[in-house]
Structure 1
């Protein structure tokens, strides 16, 4: 991305779109590096892949409203960049995110939290259409665990530390933890973890089905795995990838019969895309498809 064209663009709470740039080999999808204080948008060195890193090292990447303003802005920019086919979200060796910033919320009243719909903006990532892969090492607790579960694919180190310890603070998960964890690992296991506040490792999370794959090593190794998968996803038709993400997500809301019918309708709709023609023609001619993303 030609970032010089964005140098004068201030960070915006409204996440306004920016002009389409000339397409490069690699992408950064940021407004300006200096505008972000709580995240980094790094060069992934993978075609079509954006890499976003949570960056509050002194607070172990504790999640705050200010962080989510920046994260949502970067995600919005990535989604609107036609060169971006997948996003990787990570933290550091010590922490993906060690929880929410308790100092920010400790003094809130019910009226404050309820009327301002506190933390509703934290779920923005779950609504974007570009696939997001979490690469977790270190702590992913409370809101950090919830943020990881909002991603479409979750990779972790075997020693990563997951948990929903909100019960120890006299509260409960508020950013989807009780819902996503239950759907991922079942009611009994989720109930045990949420009611006890116990932590569990990346290795256990893989066994239970929360994590797609747990790897040896630290942040570098899990990010490398996520980038490899993201690059593969980004190499496919954007139209088909968007549709595939949509139907899988819909399976969480619909019964099997309704879900299959919904899937079939989306399948039928892809016959109106250029990429379906390109992909099937390339297959029959034993050629590599050159996607139009239309």
Structure 2
């Protein structure tokens, strides 16, 4: 039996844009920047509520952005293409290296239920009790609580920057009533922001939300259109196992042909990927002749 596939209307272009005054206005006071971050989160909230948005794919792309931002925090040179190679080309039993580990943490956390059990797989180096205590740190609104989580984690574990940001985004998502973790602070905050505390950190988090919520809305709109086009051609694909392959493209940032195990062979997987590229609904992401990766 073929797996159920997420069906999106190829004509969908109804994701409302973030109002320009939210992301382009230069806020001067704490009150102004808090107002703008609230407006950004409110708009993003309505976008995420739309059934048209391919949330799994959106989570995956935001996770990649957060991991790439993490490289700057650690002073590492890896960018998105390097991170994709480090994780999506892994063979069974291989280790991804430090950069790949950060990407894996974000990729496992994004879209997971905002709970200790949901986050445990992404943060295996921390005990569940510790994760729970950090997740519950602080009180107040979503951004204030997220800032408290960052400060608490980094006070107790100064080198746990990735965990601090994942848990901050988890706390943010939890207070907003989102069913799963949406990376925002993970790529919105700058490396220097993590050295701030108190009001300075809270303001930095508000500013990060203003920019990252705008990025997330724009990305959601783009991915909704792309996913719609892929779904439009999916019924015409004749390869056995193509439905499962299409579903994988709708939930992952990048896919190696070898991962399309629903197809009969590696050759069949490569042919399907090339066919989807020809149809203009999937892109080859590496520019290489071998060890290719594909994504919507």
The TM-score, its normalising length taken from structure 2, stands at 0.30
The TM-score, its normalising length taken from structure 1, stands at 0.30
Of structures 1 and 2, the one with the larger relative CO (CA 8 A, separation 6+) is 2
Where is the strand percentage greater, Structure 1 or Structure 2?
1
